[in-house]
Structure formats: structure tokens, C-alpha cells
Structure 1
Amino acid sequence: MADNVKLIRDCFDAFGRGDPGFIVARVAKDVDWRHAGGPEIPYGGAYKGRDGVGDFFTKIGAAVDVLTWEPKHVLPAGDEVVAIGHWTGKAKPTGRTFAADWAMVFGVRNGEITSFRVVEDTARVAAAFR
């Protein structure tokens, strides 16, 4: 379980330094990656496989300037890792900023991320894109 937590912490570090390729290399070929959000959040939706996760990060990079990235707790839960944190960003299309707490659940098997779910205040994020 400690290895699973390290995997997710390493991925959070990679996101913080702007290295999504590091994360994509650590997802399973058949990963099920989902981000809540309606049509106003350009990167919301369901993504499948490594190419899908790469597309997810491309969309975030095109849509948001990440201002702060603060993972706070990363906890083992069997074959899953649960994390909570906070981030702030600026929606590139509008220049508006947002701040949101988040909770993430990662499925992990054989050292690879097999699933991802996030819950955050999507209303705050969506408002920044209006």
C-alpha cells in the first residue's frame, strides 16, 4: 500500500511541475479516467486508455493556468488511494480565476493506475469559464 501512495504522490508532483507525460506513463493501458463537470469545463468527461489520459491533460493545459496545486492527504484504501487537496487556476479563455477543494480516488493494480475519479466544486470551476 505504501507503494501505491508513493505512486500517486509522484504523479501529483509531476502535475505540479507540468509533466503530464510522467502520469500517462503510469496508467494502465485500459485505465478508466473520469472527471466530473458539465459542458463548461473543457476537460470534464470520461477518458479511456493512455491516449485518453493524454488527451485529458492536453485539454487541461489548453484551458487552465494552474496557479497553486496543494495535495494535502494521500491515504491508502486497499487497492485504491484516496487524496484530498486544493487548487487554484485561471481559465485561459476568460482570464477568470477559481479556487476549489478536491477529492480523488485512484484505483491501482500492479503499480499502475487503473481508474481515476475526482469530486470538486465544479460550479466554481465552471463559473471561471463563463
Structure 2
Amino acid sequence: MRTFFDLLQTHVEAKEFELRHVIAEGDEIVLIGHMVSKVRAPGQAIDTAFALHTTVQDGRITRYRD
């Protein structure tokens, strides 16, 4: 996960991020929101609604689905 997000930041710049809902039950967490990013080359914007489903065990993300 760390490598993925490190590489992502070299190619994509976050412009806006809005977390609209957090739903948690046990180890399962769903995050729903909206973000706008800019791809560094060629400079185009990406407007994205998202839902992330994660599993957290012992304080660590063990599953991540986008």
C-alpha cells in the first residue's frame, strides 16, 4: 500500500478531497466521498466519486478495495 501511494503521488496531484460518509462495523470500514486530482502530465483533471472498502486489523489496513 505504501509503495502504491508513494508512486501515485509522483504522477497525480490532489486538488480537492471531500469525505461524505464513514460507515464502520467491526473491522470493516467504508469511506464515501468525492475528489478532484490533476495528472501531472498532461495536466488534465480527474473528477471522481469514490467508495473505499477497507479491513483494519490490529491497527493496520489488511484489505483495500476502491
Q: What TM-score comes out, normalization by structure 1 length?
A: 0.48
Corresponding residue number in structure 2 for 1:56: 4
Distance 1:58 1:111, change over 3 A: closer
Say which SS state the counterpart of residue 73 (structure 1) adopts.
strand
Equivalent position amino acid for 1:85 in 2: G
For residues 1-130 of structure 1, the aligned pairs below 5 Å read 53-118=1-66
Distance 2:11 2:56 in 1: 28
Q: Deviations over 1:19-78 (max 9, x none)?
A: xxxxxxxxxxxxxxxxxxxxxxxxxxxxxxxxxx22111221111110001111111133
Unaligned runs of 5+ in 1: 1-52, 119-130
Say which SS state the counterpart of residue 93 (structure 1) adopts.
coil
Equivalent position amino acid for 1:113 in 2: I
Segments of 4+ moved more than 3 angstroms: none
Say which SS state the counterpart of residue 87 (structure 1) adopts.
strand
Unaligned runs of 5+ in 2: none
Residues paired across the two proteins, number: 66
Distance 1:78 1:70 in 2: 24
